Amino acid sequence: MTDRRGASDPSRMRGSLVPHPSLPSPWASPVDPDAAVLRPWTADPEPPVIWSVAGTDSGGGAGLSADTRAAAAMGVHLCPVVAAVTAQHSKGVQAVFPLDAAQIRAQLSALRQDMPPRVVKTGLLASAAAVDALLAQCGDTPLVVDPVLGATAGGPAGGVAFCDDALLGAYRHQLVPRAALLTPNRREAERLLGVAAGQHPVPELAAMLRGLGAHAVCITGGDDVALAEGLSMDWLDSPLATGWIALPRLAGHDGTPPHHHGSGCTFATAAAAALARGFAVPDAVILAKMLTWAALRDGHAAGDGAGPLRPDRGFVDDPRAMPVMGFDDETAPDRATLDRWRRVITSTAAGPASFARGLYAITSEPERVSALALSGHFEHVQLRIKHGDLRSAIREAVRAMAGRSATLWVNDHWRLALDEGARALHLGQEDWAALNSADREELRHRRERHGVRLGLSSHSLWELCRARALAPDYIACGPLWPTTTKDMPWLPQGLAQLRWWSRMAGAPVVGIGGVLTDRQWHAGLAAGAAAMCLVRAAEEMVVKGRLG
């Protein structure tokens, strides 16, 4: 699944910047870590198959029309299974006609024989019988459930009821417990749970829905303007990652709402497509957020009411569409946090200009720190020590680097490091993920008041978004190549992912992991990394006294 076209043609390279799954998946082909670019999803010769069991929209805005456009932008093949026919236009829904269960079963049975899906997405089902027909045919296939319970186009006066008590019960007792991902908005979440509007905050609603059996829940907030001024925020609750996902709130011409008809369908289908490409749930939700936001931005009028979204494959490497993600304990982010998120997602800068480009050495021996710095090969030196007298080791390294032009970064033991005078910290993913609100506030204070610098490790899309939310001095991307220095579940990122990271991060990106040769670190810098990390190769470079 790699594309070895040369990097000399920027326009061709620009069209090939796509991420790949960071965790093993039976649906993700192995990636050659030396490949400079990957095949665009929309050029996939055997695109993944997903089903959408949903309703038609005679106005072409929502339902299966929106699903088809989103799937095309993700480069997957969508099989549209009609569960209901609607009579509607841009200002509202006039009528809903549920299909007979036998007709739904016939469609699903035909597809099962020849085009089995990796993922099934549900939209407007319109009857409890449709739920029975679907579950009888989908087996163990992951379900992305978009609970369409009522019309949104045209406002409260412009729609009709989509969900009776029998269908609501089928959602609660049959679909929600089977959902790999449930994507309601706030009103839909409250109706599924049978609670009053505003009775529970969004994070509580998501936890309650997971309590009904959903594997993961993302409550979309595009239509919830009260959440945070200037931000469109979705709350993800999943086993792998939980927190707010934020991008700028969009406005149409003259401050009017953007054309948003079919936004929920678009989001759920994009998430289903990303799952079918092998991405883990949090990464699939990040991609769905990106696609939906860009499609909202580019939406167009079709009639006098809200027009449809316009998804395009270019969303995937548009840095403006890259969100930030909060921590699971930031259920009600304070003003300082929200302000920082706004600055990050609206900034056009590529990060701190003070971060020196070049090589970054890592050593576990404090007595080697000075020699690495004095070699002249490295702009950055990291002390990564896990055991022994940590305080003495850090103190020795800080003293050895006093007055040096290279920057000393101390790995993980940030309180000890600050106590001993270190002014640049690197936190591995597990360490910065474990920071509580008080820890983050202390680090923010040290950075703002005392100039302490911060680098963070990341391996996946959601980790990149969460790292962005802390506005670090750099974000590390790894492992680039297979490595034996550290046991971890992540697949090699490779040069193509490093190139994507460098474009999307909004901060300097440092490449790390399996960098053993001059060719590798040269290729990493050429791919856009601000620095490349050497571990074993750093000592070899000093011994040989050369810079490849």
Query: CATH no. for residue 377?
Result: 3.20.20.70
pLDDT of residue 13: 44
Q: What's the CA gap between 476 and 92, in Å, rounded?
A: 48
Does 194 lie in the same domain as 305?
Answer: yes
Give the single-character DSSP code of 320.
G
291 & 384 share domain: no
pLDDT band at 453 (very low <50, low <70, confident <90, very high): very high
Identify whether residues 357 and 332 lie together within a single domain: no
Tell me: do 294 and 230 sit in the same domain: yes
24 in a domain, yes or no? no
Residue 225 predicted with pLDDT over 70 = no
Q: Is the dihedral of CA 223, 225, 228, 231 positive or negative?
A: positive
Q: What is the pLDDT of residues 64-82, one digit of tens each?
A: 999 999 999 999 999 999 9
As a whole number of angstroms, the distance between CA 455 and CA 461 comes to: 17
Ranges assigned E (strand) in 101-230:
119-122, 143-145, 179-182, 217-219
Q: What is the pLDDT of residue 351?
A: 64
The Cα–Cα gap between 480 and 478 comes to 5
User: Can you tell me the distance from the alpha carbon of 209 to that of 220, in angstroms, rounded to the nearest whole number?
Assistant: 14
pLDDT tens digits, residue range 469-492? 999 999 999 999 998 766 678 899
Residue 437 has pLDDT above 90, yes or no: yes
Residues 6+ apart with CB under 8 A from 506: 319, 322, 344, 347, 349, 350, 351, 468
Looking at the structure, do residues 125 and 184 belong to the same domain, yes or no? yes
Amino acid at 293: W
- Residue 414's pLDDT is what? 95
Q: Residue 418 corresponds to which tokens in the numbers above?
A: 């600050």
CATH code (residue 132): 3.40.1190.20
- Over residues 21-60, the pLDDT tens digits come to 999 999 988 899 999 999 999 999 999 999 999 999 998 8
HEC assignment per residue over 111-126 = HHHHCCCCEEEECCCC
| Residue 43 maps to a domain | no
pLDDT of residue 290 exceeding 60: yes
- How much is the pLDDT for 92? 83
Q: Say yes or no: 271 and 287 in one domain.
A: yes
Question: For position 158, what pLDDT does the model report?
Answer: 41
Q: What is the mean pLDDT of the chain?
A: 90
Give DSSP secondary structure letters for 226-249: TSSTTEEEEEEE-SS-EEEEEEEP
Domain boundary residue among 344, 376, 408? 344
Q: Name the residue with tokens 């449930």.
A: 182
**Start-to-end CA span in the chain (Å):** 31
Q: Would 143 be classed as within a structural domain?
A: yes
Q: 529: which strand partners?
A: none
Task: Say how many domains are in the chain.
Answer: 2
User: Is it the case that residue 9 has pLDDT exceeding 90?
Assistant: no
pLDDT of 415 higher than 70: yes
pLDDT band of 171, cuts 50, 70, 90: very high
In a domain, 328, yes or no: yes
Asked if 336 and 443 sit in the same domain, the reply is: no
Low-confidence winner among 133-147, 152-166, 245-259, 438-452 (lowest mean pLDDT): 152-166
**Pair 168, 212 in one domain:** yes
Q: Please tell me the predicted confidence (pLDDT) of residue 494.
A: 96
Torsion sign over Cα 182, 188, 194, 198 = positive
Residue 33, domain member (yes or no): no
- Which residue range forms the structural domain that includes residue 258? 49-344
| Dihedral sign, Cα of residue 31, residue 37, residue 43, residue 45 | negative
User: Does residue 17 sit within a domain?
Assistant: no
pLDDT interval class at 155 (50, 70, 90)? very low
Report how far residue 470's alpha carbon sits from residue 466's, in angstroms, rounded to the nearest whole number: 7
- The verdict on 390 and 461 lying in the same domain is yes
Is residue 308 included in any domain, yes or no? yes
Residue after which a domain boundary falls, among 306, 326, 344:
344
Which residues lie closer than 8 Å to 290 by C-beta, 6 or more apart? 315, 316, 318, 321, 322, 323
Residue 10 lies in a domain: no
Q: Say if residue 442 is in the same domain as residue 460.
A: yes
Give 231's contacts (C-beta < 8 A, 6+ positions apart).
246, 247, 248, 249, 338, 341, 342
What pLDDT, in 10s, does the model give residues 79-101?
Answer: 999 999 999 887 888 889 999 99
Residue 536 CB neighbour total at 10 angstroms: 14
Domain boundary among 344, 374, 405: 344
Kindly state whether residues 331 and 369 are assigned to the same domain. Answer: no
Q: Which pLDDT does position 426 carry in this prediction?
A: 98
Query: What pLDDT is recorded for position 1?
Result: 36
Q: What is the token pair recorded at 154?
A: 């045209």
The pLDDT of residue 2: 38
Q: Tell me the whole-structure pTM to 2 decimals.
A: 0.94
Percent of the chain scored above 70 by pLDDT? Answer: 91
Query: Do residues 329 and 396 both lie within one domain?
Result: no
